[in-house]
Structure 1
């Protein structure tokens, strides 16, 4: 996709009982990292779809790592992938991967590549589908605006991958003040299920994840409910004072969205949201450093039911935002189906 003006793209995809989202890839690279890879991890599986983003034929290699082991336990190379072509690496059934063990992956091309990872459930989680964008580089600090512990039935798992060459000493600071520490081997990942982190029940919060000894890390957040809703988003290495959300909704064919933004700046700040084609703005209260604020479209007085459009969020301090989309009102709210989508707001 190309344009003579700057554009942003989000892809929603679904079948009759599940759906997921991912952001269009704007920065391609010859190496990418995927923090969450599964082959029957408590009935969850994954696949990695990689596109050749170069102008010629290339080879693409997938390396899979287990926690604590800097040597890949599985390697697969696909040769002679044509320009703009793609390959699909399926993890289901790989004998090198153990049941109920989570993994991470490194994706390597002999030219530039773009990739997404899909996670799907089977058995009791057959309706669940997640999708996320792998990372082309890491950072010593990452941010996760949406962390939930039984928040209206929603929970999260925070996955941190060490992209460095030495053990990563990692500190997690939740927006409400709780601090946790972990050590992660090179190439490996740590998965932290929010209900086991000692946070208050019913909490919506954010997190700052920092490697204190200089190793690059990347972060993935998986969201889910007991009604088989499922979605993923990628942690942010940096923010901006303007964030774009290409698709937001208020009771549009029963879909609603929320936009949760985290203040990653150096001072308290207010945030303002505006919508394409609609006059006016809605403003948050003052949000402290590392704090979050959620703009919930069904309660925004600027909008009416059946709205679908775009949004822009601004702040004097740098922010990062995640958009969640769901059928979250009765009767669909209480039905077993995956209509939860999540994507990263696009900084400008």
Structure 2
């Protein structure tokens, strides 16, 4: 039996994943794509990667047939596929006789050669309803664009609705038709999107009929790039349509250990009633800050920003205890919903930024119901051309968890660094596991984290970063929760 994964990606020597001739709309960036494929089974397997152009037509000559080792991982750079046209914008579908998980790293450079980077996931299946909690146009230098891919077997009609939060206008875009496997780009920086207003900060609702879709959003500024996975109803991947509570495994405020990182949480109400939401920020341990809260009311399908103004004590900050409790001192911890007055379903993303080093990345917050005993981490690095990873694992249970993380190298010559490490994590808290300097020089591979008890509930994100580089060499992806006994 073959399993199918959909991957939205771009590659090209010119601006790609954009409407043709719209190079300037995304700051004149040159995009490239790479993705890491992880085999979750104890047997070697085969895989086929099929490429689709922006019209949804397959490119047969570009098809990749490959094998993947048992519990191993493969890395692919689309730009190395000489059968793809240059420039290229499109999507890919990966089929295999093994259970796989995939992440996609999107890389870009501007005309001065400055690096930009972002990461997102591959999708095991889609949904006829997908939501994006944070969409922007001219917001302090940020614009967004998102790609919607048809994950079904026939043509599908896709409608996009924009709901303003702090700024902008409601707008329902004309319905578009997408072929199976094909993808369409919605770029908020184009002149045609002026209907959103001079400035737009809000959320998007995407509906499809009759086929399921998947979506990835990219946030672009003159200095950095971020991406996150769309939230789809009933999907197995990292983000579901919404629950009354969610958790973000890591949240920073002015973390001097990591060169002053800051975070913001964008929360979308995907219910039918206004609701007042209180978020709780919990430090990883006492030296990392003091527990605090922030409260805002969110209208249906709209979204609100938490954590940005409250920790600095801004006069316009919503009701909160974060400034009073932390006095602008370092805070490193997790964030979760403490209360939701109307019990409405919510989505959320967490942005991490470092303005000093020009690094930024985003991840999708988890619903606690997604937590499982085991989590797949397709890309782990230690001193890989300056890149390291940090794994943040959240214990969603009410008791302390003991877990094992098994690291498996991609290349046989690095198998000497394969290892299993053991950790304990207190209930409702996170632990950051630093891979840099702790696995082996040049290690590139994957990992799997599992609690020792069947009732354990874990969530995880992975930060990929090259600290020494001035530029956005910072990527974050969500770990994949696995349904295992």
Counterpart of 2:184?
Answer: 190
Instruction: Please show how residues 132-281 of structure 1 align to structure 2 within 5 Å.
Output: 132-176=120-164, 177-180=170-173, 181-196=175-190, 197-198=193-194, 199-211=196-208, 213-227=209-223, 229-237=224-232, 238-253=241-256, 254-277=260-283, 278-281=290-293
Counterpart of 1:95?
Answer: 82
Distance change in 2, residues 1:50/1:258 (3 Å):
same
Counterpart of 1:342?
Answer: 362
Relative contact order higher in (CA < 8 Å, ≥ 6 apart): 1
CA distance in 1, matches of 2:292, 2:35: 42
Counterpart of 2:69?
Answer: 82
CA distance in 1, matches of 2:212, 2:350: 26
Instruction: Show structure 1 runs of 4+ deviating over 3 A.
Output: 277-280
2:282/2:292 contact within 8 Å kept: no
TM (norm. structure 2) is 0.61
CA distance in 1, matches of 2:109, 2:200: 28
Distance change in 2, residues 1:41/1:345 (3 Å):
farther
2:10/2:31 contact within 8 Å kept: no
2:294/2:310 contact within 8 Å kept: no
TM (norm. structure 1) is 0.84
Which sits farther off after the overlay, 310-319 or 235-244? 310-319
CA distance in 1, matches of 2:245, 2:228: 19
2:56/2:183 contact within 8 Å kept: no
Counterpart of 2:40?
Answer: 53
Counterpart of 1:23?
Answer: none
CA distance in 1, matches of 2:221, 2:295: 29
1:129/1:338 contact within 8 Å kept: no
Cα distance, 1:123 vs. partner?
A: 5.2
Q: For 2:244, what is the secondary structure of its paired residue?
A: strand
Counterpart of 1:16?
Answer: none
Q: Structure 2, unaligned stretches of length 5 or more?
A: 16-29, 165-169, 233-240, 284-289, 312-320, 369-485
When Rg is computed on C-alpha atoms for both structures, the one with the higher figure is: 2
Counterpart of 1:116?
Answer: 103
Instruction: Please show how residues 304-343 of structure 1 align to structure 2 within 5 Å.
Output: 304=326, 305-313=329-337, 314-315=339-340, 316-328=343-355, 332=356, 338-343=358-363
Cα distance, 1:279 vs. partner?
A: 4.5
1:37/1:105 contact within 8 Å kept: no
Counterpart of 2:460?
Answer: none
Q: How many residues align?
A: 309
Distance change in 2, residues 1:126/1:109 (3 Å):
farther
CA distance in 2, matches of 1:219, 1:95: 26
Counterpart of 1:284?
Answer: 296
1:262/1:292 contact within 8 Å kept: yes
After superposition, the CA RMSD in angstroms is: 1.8
Q: Structure 1, unaligned stretches of length 5 or more?
A: 1-28
Q: For 1:46, what is the secondary structure of its paired residue?
A: strand
Cα distance, 1:338 vs. partner?
A: 4.2
